[in-house]
Structure 1
Amino acid sequence: MTDAATRPRADLRRAPERYRSTPAEGIETRHAFSFAGHYDPKNTHFGALLACNEETLAPGAGFDEHRHRDTEILTWVVEGALAHRDGDGHAGVVRPGMVQHVSAGSGVSHTERNVGGAEVPVRFVQMWLQPDSFDTPPAYGLRRVEPAADGLTLLASGLERDAGTDALRLRRSDAALYLVTAGPWQPLPALPQAPYRYVHLTAGSLGYRTVPGPKGSGRSMAAGDSVRVTGNAFADPTAGEDGVELLFWEMHSELKYG
């Protein structure tokens, strides 16, 4: 663990601060980290997270066949439906309330498109995580999520403690992804502690304090905002008037090299 990971910090990034790209007609992407033509050496990753993209595909639009390697790719659809097809014979349609996992391993080619016949855009969040096992056979998973009664739903995990659960299995042994929900003005459920925690709001709003106690400044978040948390920052998170839905990463180490 680096010293930076032990210092309490809640680094809030607003939705309009994301890098915007339009790689093809009908596609708009908002990037949280350096990506393609957008490069900032101070913003290449957080923990083991390499990308957190907000994607919008118009009816009939999509990403043509492209290749990934040694990347864990998690997709959460906010609105509409996303059709996935890859060169290993996997095909699926991801809808709201479902999570998809592509473990690229030694290499996989796939397409991602707004589902055929759609009359509305598909909006989704896609996150790329570095694995800690490389050059493995590609794998694919898709599951419908039953939200937990306490508002903390495990979506995917590589942690040994989560083996045998319904969570999709990551090839990163110290990271887990959750869906977190809370009703209007309700506190969030207790979030797992980790040196690196990443919060991305998909719907609603949220308030929190930068650190526990009276010295913590108040902050608010809206859909599309994110916060990068180290130490014991991000205190007393509470949903706003319309409740909140967010994606939450628990990560116990950052990128591994060599």
Structure 2
Amino acid sequence: MIRIQRAGERYPGGDPAAGIETRHALSFGPYYDPDNLRFGALLACNEERLAPGAGFDEHPHSHTEIVTWVVEGELTHADTAGHASVVRPGDLQHLSSAGGVRHVERNDGPEPLVFVQMWLAPLTPGGEVSYEVVRDLNTAYDLPAAGAVLRVERLEAGASTELPAADFTYVHVVRGGVSLGGEELGPGDAARLTDETDLPLLATTDAEVLVWEMAAP
């Protein structure tokens, strides 16, 4: 089964007056849809746009695996476990909030910041807070705590790749255009696949796509 969600169907959020524009793929905060609470391990897939100087003040997380993919600009991160870094395009950031941590996310750079932030439910709650940044990710990122793998597909126009066989597969188009199951997808569009196998992802233009492969709990 394939379910397509267009970019324009995402829930608007953030605080535009403060320079924060958010588009939620799944129910988030006041944007509640009982039929759209999660997909596999995925609890949130938020497109974030922060103006220079804008950001999220210190706020808490717990029992969530938070994976962030920076598209444009620079993301400044600092948390109460002592981690601090600047995350740039092509970098992947992973914060395992475990029993609880607070952090700050800001755009301290001179250019607009665009990133995709994804929250996943851990298979087992608790544990120790951990943090890492993978610079210039060009391979699959394994997230065993959530029974998930993230693949970053960078395809030239006309190139294709087969999506992995998985209980749940989530496809998010970062840039460019692709064709999947007869559907044309553009930036911000997403596809949710359940129990699909041998399905090709074809780039109709140069494209960058995030693909989550998730096992059933």
AA in 2 matched with 1:132: L
AA in 1 matched with 2:51: A
The corresponding residue for 1:4 is none
> What are the residue-to-residue correspondences of 1:82-231 with 2, within 5 Å?
82-115=75-108, 118-147=109-138, 153-158=139-144, 171-172=145-146, 174-188=147-161, 190-209=162-181, 218-231=182-195
SS of residue paired to 2:207:
strand
Gaps of 5+ in 1: 1-8, 148-152, 159-170, 210-217
TM-score, normalising length: structure 2: 0.95
The corresponding residue for 1:78 is 71
SS of residue paired to 1:16:
helix
RMSD: 1.4
1:201-240 Cα shifts (integer Å, max 9, x gaps):
101100122xxxxxxxx21000110000012268332101
- Is the Cα contact below 8 Å between 1:10 and 1:227 reproduced in 2? yes
What CA distance in whole angstroms lies between the structure 2 residues aligned with 1:179 and 1:44? 24
SS of residue paired to 2:140:
strand
- Is the Cα contact below 8 Å between 2:167 and 2:215 reproduced in 1? yes
SS of residue paired to 2:35:
coil
- Is the Cα contact below 8 Å between 2:43 and 2:119 reproduced in 1? yes
Structure 2 residue 32 is matched with structure 1 residue 21: no
TM-score, normalising length: structure 1: 0.81
| Aligned residue among 196, 211, 214 for 1:232 | 196
Larger Rg: 1
1:108-155 Cα shifts (integer Å, max 9, x gaps):
00000002xx222100000000001211111101111352xxxxx202
Percent of pairs with identical residues: 46
Structure 2 residue 27 is matched with structure 1 residue 34: yes
What CA distance in whole angstroms lies between the structure 2 residues aligned with 1:48 and 1:64? 26
The corresponding residue for 1:163 is none
- Once the two structures are TM-superposed, the CA of residue 73 in structure 1 deviates from its matched residue by 0.0
What CA distance in whole angstroms lies between the structure 2 residues aligned with 1:234 and 1:18? 28
Alignment length, in residue pairs?
216
What CA distance in whole angstroms lies between the structure 2 residues aligned with 1:146 and 1:69? 26
The corresponding residue for 1:168 is none
AA in 2 matched with 1:145: D
- Is the Cα contact below 8 Å between 2:168 and 2:192 reproduced in 1? yes
What CA distance in whole angstroms lies between the structure 2 residues aligned with 1:75 and 1:202? 13
